Amino acid sequence: MSTPARKTRPHGDERRRSVLAVATDLFSQRGYNAVSIADVAKESGLSQAGLLHHFPTKRALLLAVLQERDRASEGPGPHGADFLQAFAEALRHNDANPQLVQLFALLSAESISEGHPAHDWFVERYDLLVSDVTTEVASIVDPDKLPEGIHAETLARWVIALADGLRTQALLSPGAFDRADSIEAFLGILRPYLRTDDTGESGAVGIPHGY
């Protein structure tokens, strides 16, 4: 007599990915504060105890969602003008997934409060982003050409702020404009301030003409 086949259960990593997908969806719709562990467990087909086996706290779940979002875009990147072009292309890639864009918009706004569990994560992330973009801008901009009081960090913060502000506008008015095109147009404005090579030509070939 044959033994009845056992029902297979999803592997732990698969179950974890499933929970992260559900949490990402719920957080992007409602934000962190309006979503409970019970909500995520119910949508994941788990008991609360089962969910807490994978993520011991709601805070741990939130940070895992944010880390998963960043992990998807990890990898070595270009530098200088090519970095700025890649920055615009990354926005275009992100905007193809409105759920993740909305997730980041909601959570970054909520996390302004120091008591929010993602506050430190966003502070660190923006500090790193400002540092990285400042380094890349400094490598292509001639400081002697910049207006008085404007520095590489100033331009870096403008680029980041423009991307963030346009994200909010795009979420409120879907299809009204292309965020990446707007960023590329702004980067084109930087052309007169770029370093030049020995021939007098702009060395920043990564920013194409025709913006």
Confidence label for 31 from pLDDT (cuts 50, 70 and 90): very high
- Backbone φ, ψ for residue 177 (5° rounding): -165, 170
Residue showing tokens 């025709």: 210
Contact yes or no for 105/28 (Cβ under 8 A): no
- Backbone φ, ψ for residue 196 (5° rounding): -120, 155
The CATH 1.10.10.60 portion of the chain extends over 12-69
Contact yes or no for 177/194 (Cβ under 8 A): no
Instruction: Report the CATH number of the 12-69 domain.
Output: 1.10.10.60
pLDDT in tens, 69-108: 877 555 445 666 687 888 888 889 889 989 889 999 999 9
pLDDT in tens, 119-167: 999 999 999 999 999 999 999 999 999 999 999 999 999 999 999 999 9
Confidence label for 207 from pLDDT (cuts 50, 70 and 90): very low
Contact yes or no for 65/23 (Cβ under 8 A): yes
